[in-house]
Structure 1
Amino acid sequence: MAQINICLKHIFTVFNIFFMVVGGVVILLALWCQFFMNIQGGYNLEGHATKLFIVYIIGFITMMIAVLGAYGAHKESKVALIMFLVFMFTGCLLMLMTGIPAASSYPQVKGRMEERFHKFVPLDKSRKDVRNMAVDIQKQFHCCGLFSYKDWENIPESCVCSQEEEKEGKCQTLRKNLYQILTRQRKSVYTKTCFPTIMDHIQFTNKINIVVSFTLAILALLGVILSSIMVYHLYRFNSHTMMILTRPPKYNEMCKPPPY
C-alpha cells in the first residue's frame, strides 16, 4: 500500500529529474568556461581555475542529491527523504551565502581590479608570470598594454601590428625617440588595450557563478518544501497505522462484563 500520494510522488520525481538536468548543465557550463579559458591562453585570473573546479563539484553533488531524492520517493524511504531534506536545506544556505556576497560586490569588481592591475605597471618591471600573462593576452586579443601602450617601457613584439591590421585601422603609429623621428622609423601597435578584455572575462565568470548560486538556491528551497511534505505524509501514515494496530478489536468490547 502506497504511503505517499501518487500525484505528489510524480511531482517530486519530475523535480528530481529536472534537478539532475540542472546539475548536468552546471558541469557543462564549467567545461565550456574551461574550454574558453584554454582558447584564450590558459591563464588563470583571480583564481578562476579554482572556482571552476568548485563549480564541477557543485554540479556533481547536485546530480547525486537528485538521485537520492528520486530513490527516496520511489521506495518511500523515510531515511533517504530526510537525508535529501538535510542536504537541500544545507545546500540552499550555502548557495545563498555564496550568491548574495557575489551579487552585492559585483558592481565594485571593476574598480578593485583596475586598482590591482595598476600596481603591475610598468609591465617590464612586474613579476615574470604577470609579464607572460600580458604577452599571451596581447597575442590572443590583439591589444597592447593593460590601460595604454605606455604600460610598457620597451614595447614587446606582441603589441606590434601586421600590415593587414594597419589597413583595417586597428593600429596607432609611434615615434618614441629623436632617432626614430629623424630616420622616419615608426612602430605600429594595437590601439585596443587589454584591460577591458580581461574585465569581460572576469565579469562573465562572475555572472555564471551568481546565476548558478541563485538557481540552485531556489531549486534547493523548492526541494526542501516538497521533501518536507513527503516526510510529513510518511509520519502521518505510520502514526495512523499504529493507531489501527493498537486499537482493541470490536469483539473484545462486546465480551466485556456489564458494570455493577
Structure 2
Amino acid sequence: MAVSRGCLCCVKYLMFVFNLIFWLGGCGLFGVGVWLSFTQSQFSSLPLSFPSLSAANLLLVAGGVTMVTGFLGCLGALKEQRCLLMTFFVILLLLFLTEVTLILILSIYHKELDEKAKDDLIKGMKDYNKNTDLKNSWDNMQKIFKCCGVSNHTDWHNSTGTGQLPSSCCRPGTDPCHRWEEPCYEKAKNFLLSNITSVLVFGVCLGIVQILALAFSMLMYCQILRAEKYMD
C-alpha cells in the first residue's frame, strides 16, 4: 500500500507540473492572440476570413480553452478526484484531436482557404464607398503594408466599377498617383507567416506537453482507482 501511495504522489506532482506548464502555454497563446488583435485593430472591419484576423481569433479561443483545461488538470491532480481527472482527460483529448484536425485542414485545403479569403475581400470592396469602417480598414491596410488591391490594383476597377484607385493605393507625395505594386493579400500573409513561426514551434512543444498530460492523468486515474479498491 505504501509503494502504491508513493507512486500516486509521484504521478500527482508530475501531472501538476505538466499541467502548470500547459496552463502557462495557454496564457502564452492567449497573449499572442491579444497582441495580434491589437496589431490588426486598424483593419478589424475586414472579413474574418482574412488570415491575420482569423489567426488572432483562433489563438484567443485556443489560449482560453487551454488555460481553463490546464487549471482543471491542476485542480484534479491536487484534489485527487477521479471525476475531475476524467473530465480533464476527455476535454484535453477533444482539444488535441481538434488541433490535429485543424492542422490537417489547413495543410490540405490551404489553397481553397486562400481563395475563399480573397473572394470575401473582393466582395467587401464593393462597399468601400458606403461603409466608413470598411473604408478606413482598407485604407489603413494599404498604407501600412504599402500595397494595392487583393491580388493587384485591377481589383478596385472590377469591384467599384470606376477608373479611380483609392488614395491609399498611391505612394505619398506623388501626383499623379504612383501606386503600390504589391498585392495586399500576399503582403499580409507574409507578415503573418513571419510572426507565426515561433508560435508554431511553441505549439509543437505544447502538443508534446498535452500528450504527456493525457498519459499522466490516465495513469493517476488508474492509481486512484486501484487505491480505492484496495481500501475497500
TM class by shorter chain equals 0.7 to 0.9
Matched, 1:233 2:223: yes
In structure 2, relative to structure 1, the CA distance for the partners of 1:78 and 1:37 (3 Å cut) is: same
Greater C-alpha Rg = 1
In structure 2, relative to structure 1, the CA distance for the partners of 1:4 and 1:85 (3 Å cut) is: farther
Match for residue 148 of structure 2? 144
Q: Is the 8 A contact 2:46 2:121 kept in 1?
A: no
**Cα distance between partner residues in 2 of 1:118 and 1:91:** 30
For these two proteins, the number of residue pairs brought into alignment is 217
> What is the TM-score with the length of structure 1 in the denominator?
0.66
Corresponding letter in the other structure for 1:158: S
Flag the structure with more relative contact order, 1 or 2, with Cα contacts below 8 A and sequence separation at least 6: 2
**Cα distance between partner residues in 2 of 1:92 and 1:100:** 12
**What 5-or-longer segments of structure 1 have no aligned partner?**
167-184, 243-260
**Greater Cα offset, 212-221 or 57-66:** 212-221
- Counterpart selection for 1:156 from 155, 166, 170: 166
Q: Is the 8 A contact 2:150 2:184 kept in 1?
A: yes
Match for residue 176 of structure 1? none
Q: Is the 8 A contact 1:145 1:194 kept in 2?
A: yes
Matches within 5 A, 1:215-226: 217-226=207-216
- Counterpart selection for 1:72 from 72, 76, 79: 76
Match for residue 127 of structure 1? 127
Match for residue 180 of structure 1? none
Q: CA deviation at 1:89?
A: 1.9
In structure 2, relative to structure 1, the CA distance for the partners of 1:193 and 1:61 (3 Å cut) is: closer
Q: CA deviation at 1:161?
A: 2.6
In structure 2, relative to structure 1, the CA distance for the partners of 1:127 and 1:231 (3 Å cut) is: same
Match for residue 25 of structure 1? 28
**What 5-or-longer segments of structure 2 have no aligned partner?**
158-162
Corresponding letter in the other structure for 1:127: D
Q: CA deviation at 1:67?
A: 1.9
Matched, 1:7 2:10: yes
**Cα distance between partner residues in 1 of 2:22 and 2:16:** 10
**Cα distance between partner residues in 2 of 1:109 and 1:204:** 19
**Greater Cα offset, 127-136 or 137-146:** 127-136
Q: Is the 8 A contact 1:95 1:213 kept in 2?
A: no
Matches within 5 A, 1:42-57: 42-47=44-49, 49=53, 52-57=56-61
In structure 2, relative to structure 1, the CA distance for the partners of 1:193 and 1:47 (3 Å cut) is: closer
Q: CA deviation at 1:222?
A: 2.3
Q: Deviations over 1:126-183 (max 9, x none)?
A: 33359825433223333333444444421332233334xx7xxxxxxxxxxxxxxxxx
Q: CA deviation at 1:31?
A: 0.4
Q: CA deviation at 1:217?
A: 4.7
**Cα distance between partner residues in 1 of 2:181 and 2:54:** 33
Q: Is the 8 A contact 1:102 1:206 kept in 2?
A: no
In structure 2, relative to structure 1, the CA distance for the partners of 1:43 and 1:235 (3 Å cut) is: same
Corresponding letter in the other structure for 2:168: S
**Greater Cα offset, 9-18 or 79-88:** 79-88
